Structure 1
């Protein structure tokens, strides 16, 4: 797999969301504002990633794997942070922070797979 700037930036944003969600779970019994903002940052990153991928693909750089699979991952990943955010805003328990942390790690795994599909690498 080729590691590019988008993957590194996404990994850092997802790691931040995961860490803040775990810390908030340990120290608070309701959703933490920092964890909410971190998940919003994950969504913002995904929007930028999707636009950049569309521009790269429109510019002639083809997806090495199946395009429908890549865009399926992108669309699904774009849905995860808003659902986690909505959950945390409506459910004022410690578990909301766990959901926010889970959104960070889930998006990271999906981002890793998206990079594999884009570069044509076989799944490990």
Structure 2
């Protein structure tokens, strides 16, 4: 069972925007620009807020329905991906750095979807 909530919708929108910007940048640019990098930064900020909210929800008694280690493992892994893609993009100034930013946004969305499945 999967239940939509505000955090999932916000995360899906942020990841989708970051993905679209990165795909467009891959198609038209030879190097990552500020907009593509901002997408990765926004994704990371969202994940930090999501993690804090998840800790508060769990501390308040709204327990994870699935395996808590699996949920927190997904979250930690998702938190690592945008910064890695960001630093890859600023260190390697190529068109494919934009593709890495897009892949990071897509995989982050998939992990967010899985975290919501585990929670509910």
2: CA distance, partners of 1:94 / 1:117: 35
> Deviation digits for residues 59-115 of structure 1, max 9, x if unmatched?
111000000000000000000000000000000000000000001100000000000
Residue in 1 aligned with 2:99? Answer: 98
2: CA distance, partners of 1:67 / 1:103: 23
| Structure 2 residue ranges without an equivalent (≥5) | none
Please report the TM-score for the alignment, with normalisation by the length of structure 2: 0.98
* 2:54 is equivalent to residue 53 of structure 1: yes
CA RMSD of aligned residues (A): 0.4
Structure 1 residue ranges (4+ consecutive) displaced by more than 2 angstroms after TM superposition: none
Residue in 1 aligned with 2:75? Answer: 74
Please report the TM-score for the alignment, with normalisation by the length of structure 1: 0.95
Does the residue aligned with 1:63 lie in a helix, a strand or coil?
A: coil
Aligned pairs, number: 119
Residue in 2 aligned with 1:16? Answer: 17
Residue in 2 aligned with 1:89? Answer: 90
